[in-house]
């Protein structure tokens, strides 16, 4: 089974601050990490590899320094890694990103593609589903469990207040949740091996991709404005009986002339 | 001297840090209070490759270097001095001399299990009457055909009953003084070898420190490490390497105490302000971090010299002397900046201060390091 895990290198948003003037992330000095959902996808792939055997490839599109995220994937146990990096891919929105990744995936070949649910910086949760559409394969999003049964996968798809168990044929694409597992640590020797490994870097010239649909030019999304939501006042906690709770809520609503 | 924390080291630090925070830190208080050897942590460390970092893969190691190993001791010691010394004694004082001085057969026989962490190592040089004056060995090993008959007592041995492989020093020829000392690989379970009294300690309380008793133990000739009479030199060379490990333990303790103090000083309010806003706290913290960074450079330099296969014994002595005295100074200041809370067991800085003290004593006291350094200067 060939599993490809799409991983995005993202700024560690737990350490990120927003520039109040421009409303954009201040990335300087912020460490980069593998997007948490994607790391769970990697762990899920490595667990499948351990259970039923598989070749695991980590795929990322990003600037040259995204290589470190791929080395981390190798140090955790991925067999191969490929970086898609080219200035011409720069400024891609989710459409251009998914077009590019889909083309790389066609070149790599796959039985299973794992994406994270969403990236903690872009946060759209669009790239995975878009890739599946470009490739014309089945997809299940919000997956929290994966099992191989025969030549199909049995997966658990999470909702806010329930779940579905689905059986999917391969090849297919799943987007997974970070809550699904605890990613393993890198292995010390694995880190040294990861830095000895060669990571191919694919440019536009290596992919069969429509050049009008990549990078900034190929991105239909236009950001008109981005701003930081003003912080609301700190909440107040009352530990009271429901009756009394209702009374307090009504009182507050009246105070603010909402009712 | 040229050295660099390379990209692989940075990725390793990220991994060590995650491991230390998630697996080691939560146990540190309990390990100290209950004087409990954290065996489960040792097993986990083995799973991720910690127990054989600087040894080649063909001997079960991780194919890394000394700097990578030192960084592991540092990161682990930031949160638990006990776990730091377990790793250091195992790697530097048992696996390393077998790798460096062992015959091919000895390396094949002992190194893979040690490097994979299936077995734990210990080093037994100190005796009741042979501490700083390690040449005063009273343990004896008498050649009798195909084996040596080992007799005597060692004290203060780290990893003690939890170890499987011990490097033991004994006199094979009393008449020759230091040139009559030899080193032996002794295995747990050899008849006549038992563990004696356990020490109750001020710090690193989870690390087992015990007496080892040898009564007519038959040690096969094949277990002589290095040549007969070469034991003292072997011990001194081994301690040169070990000192970098202890220096890294001290460095970790110092940095760990600073990290705790930074967080606490921002939180704790007096006179309506955080104590971090007092200039005294700020200047103390500045001095603590500056000293610790200076120690770090000395420690990394010594490790890098060892990796470059250049002489490093003076640099290792300087690293250990400075890092251990820094650890003592910084942890004491950390307790002071925590005030009364720092003196209680509610906060980890008092434990760090107790742990730091030993780094000025074992693997050569600070006085011994000064002797090594000055002897080199006045040569
Ligand atoms: C409203 C909006 C407008 C934007 N406009 C622009 C713009 O004009 N210019 C611009 O440069 N950027 C723009 N971005 C950012 C850009 O869309 C995303 O960075 C990028 O396309 C990935 O989308 P995402 O971060 O939302 O990932 P998601 O769709 O949330 O990611 C889901 C999963 O897809 C996979 N994946 C995503 N990206 C990669 C990757 N690079 N490599 C490998 N796998 C990946 C991962 O598995 C990930 O978990 C915009 C974002 C938003 C929210
Ligand atoms: C927790 C712990 C773990 C240990 N682990 C190990 C281990 O795993 N293996 C092992 O072999 N040993 C181990 N030791 C022993 C340790 O290395 C010795 O305690 C240390 O070398 C000092 O020896 P000593 O205790 O006999 O002190 P002494 O040698 O009696 O020293 C007492 C004082 O005199 C000073 N002094 C001695 N000689 C001189 C001199 N010539 N000039 C100036 N000052 C001098 C010393 O610096 C010290 O301040 C351990 C000790 C402890 C406490």
The three state secondary structure string of chain B is: CCCCCCHHHHHHHHHHHHHHHHHHHHHHHHHHHCCCCCHHHHHHHHHCCHHHCCCCHHHCCCCCCHHHHHHHHHHHHHHCHHHHHHHHHHHHHHHHHHHHHCCHHHHHHHHHHHHCCCCCEEEECCECCECCCCCCCCCEEEEECCEEEEEEEEEEEECHHHCCEEEEEEECCHHHHHHHEEEEEEECCCCCEEEEEECCCCCCCCCCEEEEEEEEEEEEHHHEECCCCCHHHHHHHHHHHHHHHHHHHHHHHHHHHHHHHHHHHHHCEECCEEHHHCHHHHHHHHHHHHHHHHHHHHHHHHHHHHHCCCCCHHHHHHHHHHHHHHHHHHHHHHHHHHCHHHHCCCCCHHHHHHHHHHCCCCCCCHHHHHHHHHHHHCC
Q: Which residues of B touch A72 (CB under 8 A)?
A: 11, 14
- Best CA proximity match to B45, nearest among B71, B10, B19, B13: B19
CA distances from A188 to A31, A74, A185, B347 (A): 21, 11, 9, 31
Query: pTM score > 0.80 for this model?
Result: yes
Residues contacting residue B366 through CB under 8 Å, at least 6 positions apart: B321, B324, B325, B360
According to DSSP, the residues that pair with B150 across neighbouring strands are B141, B217
Q: What is the pairing mode between strands B224-225 and B181-187?
A: antiparallel
**What pLDDT does residue A258 have?**
81
Identify the pLDDT of residue B262: 98
Q: Note the pLDDT of residue B139.
A: 98
Tokens of A212: 């009008």
Sign of CA dihedral B366, B370, B376, B379: negative
* Tokens found for residue A219: 């991105």
Q: What is the pLDDT of residue B105?
A: 98
pLDDT in tens, A32-57: 999 999 999 999 999 999 999 999 99
Query: Looking at the domain assignment, is residue A251 inside a domain?
Result: no
B50 interfacial to chain A (CB closer than 8 Å): yes
Q: Dump pLDDT digits (tens) for A183-196.
A: 999 999 999 999 99
Q: Which of B327, B331, B316 is nearest to B368 (CA)?
A: B316
> How far is A247 from A31, CA to CA, in rounded Å?
47
Average pLDDT over chain B reads: 97
- The ligand 1 atom nearest the CA atom of A90: 11
Closest approach of B131 to chain A, Cα-based (Å): 35
In chain A, whose CA is at the least distance from the CA of B54? Answer: A189
Return the residue whose CA atom lies nearest to atom 17 of ligand 1: A93
Q: Do B11 and A75 touch (CB under 8 A)?
A: yes
Domain range for A145 is 2-213
Q: How far is the CA of B79 from the centre of ligand 2 (A)?
A: 25
Alpha-carbon distance values, A184 to A48, A114, A187 (Å): 13, 17, 9
Higher pLDDT, residue A25 or A151:
A151
Assess B214–A contact: CB distance below 8 Å, yes or no. Answer: no
B45: which chain A residues are within 8 Å (Cβ-Cβ)? Answer: none
Q: Measure A175 CA to nearest chain B CA, in Å.
A: 25
Angle of helix A188-196 versus helix A67-76 axis, rounded to 10: 130
| Distance (Å) from the alpha carbon of A55 to chain B's nearest alpha carbon | 21
**Is pLDDT at B94 greater than 70 in this prediction?**
yes
β-pair type (B273-274, B269-270): antiparallel
- Catalytically annotated residue among B75, B260, B325, B363: B363
Question: B32 C-alpha to center of ligand 1: Å?
Answer: 47
Residue A245 resides in a domain? no
Whether the CB of B229 sits within 6 Å of ligand 2? no
Q: What is the mean pLDDT of residues A91-107?
A: 96
Q: What is the pLDDT of residue A20?
A: 73
Element housing A71 (H / E): helix A67-76
How far is A24 from B62, CA to CA, in rounded Å?
42
pLDDT in tens, B270-301: 999 999 999 999 999 999 999 999 999 999 99
Span B18-43, pLDDT tens digits: 999 999 999 999 999 999 999 999 99
Alpha-carbon span B212 to B349, nearest angstrom: 32
CB of B125 sitting under 6 A from ligand 2: yes
Residue indicated by tokens 């309010």: B269
Residue of B181, B361, B363, B370 to mutate, ligand 2, most atoms within 8 A of C-beta: B361
What is the model's pLDDT at position B2? 63
Instruction: Write the residue with the smallest CA distance to atom 42 of ligand 2.
Output: B367
Which contacts of B33-41 are long-range, i.e. CB under 8 A and separated by 24 or more positions?
A: B33/B205, B33/B345, B34/B206, B35/B200, B35/B201, B35/B205, B35/B206, B36/B206, B37/B86, B37/B162, B37/B206, B37/B207, B37/B208, B38/B80, B38/B82, B38/B83, B38/B86, B38/B206, B39/B162, B41/B83
Say whether pLDDT at B1 is over 80.
Answer: no
Q: How confident is the model at residue A259 (pLDDT cuts 50, 70, 90)?
A: confident
Looking at residue B202, its pLDDT comes to 98
Q: How do residues B102-147 score in pLDDT, each as one tens digit?
A: 999 999 999 999 999 999 999 999 999 999 999 999 999 999 999 9
Q: Is A171 in the pocket of ligand 1 (CB under 6 A)?
A: no
Confirm whether A224 is domain-assigned.
no
Nearest to B282 by CA among B298, B302, B247, B258: B258
Question: What is the tally of structural domains in chain A?
Answer: 1
C-alpha distance from residue B286 to each of B120, B245, B280, B328 (Å): 39, 25, 10, 16
**Whole-number pLDDT of residue B362:** 98
Interface of A with B in 132-191 (CB under 8 A): 185-191
Domain membership of residue A229 (yes or no) is no
Who wins on pLDDT, A23 or A86?
Answer: A86
Average pLDDT over residues B215-234: 98
Which pLDDT belongs to residue A257? Answer: 84
Q: Do A189 and B61 touch (CB under 8 A)?
A: yes
Give me the pLDDT at residue B246, please. Answer: 98
- The enclosing domain of A6 has a CATH number of 3.40.50.620
Q: How many CA atoms within 13 Å lie on the side-chain side of A186?
A: 29
The band of A23, judged by pLDDT with boundaries at 50, 70 and 90, is low
User: Higher confidence at residue B351 or residue A121?
Assistant: B351
Say yes or no: ipTM exceeds 0.85.
yes
Q: What is the pLDDT of residue B5?
A: 79
The answer to the question of residue A225 being in a domain is no
């Amino acid at each position: 089974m060939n599993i490809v895990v799409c991983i995005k290198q993202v700024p560690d948003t737990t350490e990120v601050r927003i520039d109040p003037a421009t409303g954009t992330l201040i990335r300087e000095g912020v460490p980069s990490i593998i997007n948490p959902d994607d790391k769970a996808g990697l762990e899920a792939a490595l667990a499948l590899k351990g259970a039923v055997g598989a070749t695991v490839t980590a795929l990322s599109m990003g600037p040259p320094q995204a290589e470190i995220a791929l080395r981390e994937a190798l140090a955790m146990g991925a067999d191969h890694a490929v970086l898609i990096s080219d200035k011409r891919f720069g400024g891609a929105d989710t459409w251009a990103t998914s077009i590019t990744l889909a083309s790389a995936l066609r070149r790599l070949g796959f039985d299973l593609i794992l994406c994270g649910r969403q990236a903690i910086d872009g946060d759209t949760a669009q790239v995975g589903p878009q890739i599946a559409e470009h490739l014309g394969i089945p997809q299940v999003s919000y997956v929290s469990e994966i099992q191989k049964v025969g030549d199909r996968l049995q997966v658990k798809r999470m909702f806010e207040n329930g779940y579905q168990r689905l059986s999917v044929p391969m090849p297919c694409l799943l987007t997974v949740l970070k809550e699904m597992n605890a990613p393993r640590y890198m292995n010390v020797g694995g880190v040294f091996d990861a830095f000895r490994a060669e990571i191919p870097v694919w440019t536009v010239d290596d992919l069969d991709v429509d050049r009008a649909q990549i990078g900034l030019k190929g991105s239909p999304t236009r950001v008109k404005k981005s701003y930081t939501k003003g912080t609301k006042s700190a909440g107040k906690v009352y530990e009271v009986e429901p009756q009394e709770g209702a009374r307090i809520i009504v009182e507050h609503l009246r105070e603010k002339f909402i009712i | 001297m040229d050295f660099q924390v390379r990209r692989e080291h940075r990725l390793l630090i990220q991994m060590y840090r995650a491991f230390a925070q998630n697996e080691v830190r939560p146990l540190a208080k309990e390990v100290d209070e209950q004087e409990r050897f954290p065996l489960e942590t040792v097993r986990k460390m083995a799973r991720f490759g910690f127990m054989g970092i600087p040894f080649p893969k063909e001997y079960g190691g991780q194919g890394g270097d000394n700097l990578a190993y030192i960084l592991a001791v540092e990161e682990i010691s930031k949160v638990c001095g006990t776990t730091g010394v377990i790793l250091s004694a195992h790697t530097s004082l048992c696996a390393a001399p077998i790798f460096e001085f062992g015959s091919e057969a000895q390396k094949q026989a002992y190194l893979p299990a040690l490097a994979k962490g299936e077995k734990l190592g210990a080093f037994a040089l100190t005796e009741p009457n042979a501490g700083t004056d390690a040449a005063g060995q009273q343990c004896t090993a008498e050649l009798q055909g195909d084996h040596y008959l080992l007799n005597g007592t060692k004290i203060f041995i780290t990893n003690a009953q939890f170890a499987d492989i011990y490097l033991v020093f004994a006199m094979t020829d009393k008449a020759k003084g230091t040139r009559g000392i030899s080193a032996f690989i002794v295995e747990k379970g050899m008849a006549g070898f038992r563990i004696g009294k356990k020490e109750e300690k001020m710090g690193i309380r989870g690390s087992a420190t015990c007496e080892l008793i040898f009564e007519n133990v038959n040690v096969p000739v094949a277990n002589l490490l290095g040549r007969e009479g070469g034991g003292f030199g072997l011990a001194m060379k081994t301690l040169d390497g070990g000192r970098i490990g202890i220096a890294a333990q001290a460095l970790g303790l110092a940095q760990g105490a600073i990290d705790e103090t930074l967080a606490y000083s921002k939180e704790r309010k007096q006179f309506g302000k955080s104590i971090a806003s007092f200039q005294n706290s700020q200047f103390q913290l500045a001095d603590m971090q500056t000293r610790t960074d200076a120690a770090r450079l000395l420690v990394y330099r010594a490790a890098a010299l060892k990796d470059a296969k250049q002489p490093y014994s003076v640099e290792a002595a300087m690293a250990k002397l400075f890092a251990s005295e820094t650890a003592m100074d910084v942890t004491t200041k950390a307790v002071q900046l925590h005030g009364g809370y720092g003196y209680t067991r509610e906060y980890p800085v008092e434990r760090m201060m107790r742990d730091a003290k030993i780094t000025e004593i074992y693997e050569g006291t600070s006085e011994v390091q000064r002797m090594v350094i000055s002897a080199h200067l006045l040569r």
